[in-house]
Amino acid sequence: MTPSVRERLVRAVVARIGPAIAPTPLHRQPTVPLPREASPALLLFIEGDQVLAQANDRCERALTLRLVALARENDAFDVADALIVSAHGALMLEPSLGGLALGVREIDCEWDAEDADSQALAVPARYEIRYRTLASDLTQKG
């Protein structure tokens, strides 16, 4: 079965960001919290996918992804910043993601020190990927 354009986009993002942040691991949609010793790490969450417009048999869509850089210890700000910089550069290097996307744009980025752990830092950065599909087939580019 052919994966949806959405899934192919997410896989393209993983394929670009993973090597850019190596040896730091990239975790897609983790369902359990990472243990302290798994830091630093970069997490990838799919926040949503919405239809922006439909004309005839084509849909323009917006896929929202959130990258979260996790770091701990005294150099947490430097480590998290370096992860976001590397991931951003890899993602924006070729914004069509191999011809699957119309473009990628950064939405926002926050700095969030965890109250429960004074040495933990989570830096979420959100991106929107615009793409088109056929209205009747999510596996076909539109």
Per-residue b/e over 115-138, b at no fewer than 16 CB within 10 Å? Answer: eeeeebbbbbbbbbbebbbeeeeb
Tokens read off for 37: 């010793």
Question: Count of domains in the chain?
Answer: 1
In whole angstroms, how far apart are CA 121 and each of 20, 41, 58, 67, 101?
20, 11, 41, 13, 31
pLDDT at 72: 87
Does residue 112 lie in a domain region? yes
Q: What is the CATH number of the domain that holds 81?
A: 3.30.2000.10
119: containing domain:
5-137
CA 133, chain centre distance (Å)? 20
Does residue 142 lie in a domain region? no
Segment 1-15 shows an average pLDDT of 96
Q: What is the pLDDT of residues 17-56, one digit of tens each?
A: 999 999 999 999 999 888 878 889 999 999 999 999 999 9
**Residue 93 phi, psi (nearest 5):** -60, -40
Would you say 9 and 61 are in contact if contact means Cβ atoms under 8 Å apart? Answer: no
Q: What is the pLDDT of residues 75-87, one digit of tens each?
A: 888 999 999 999 9
pTM greater than the 0.85 cutoff: yes
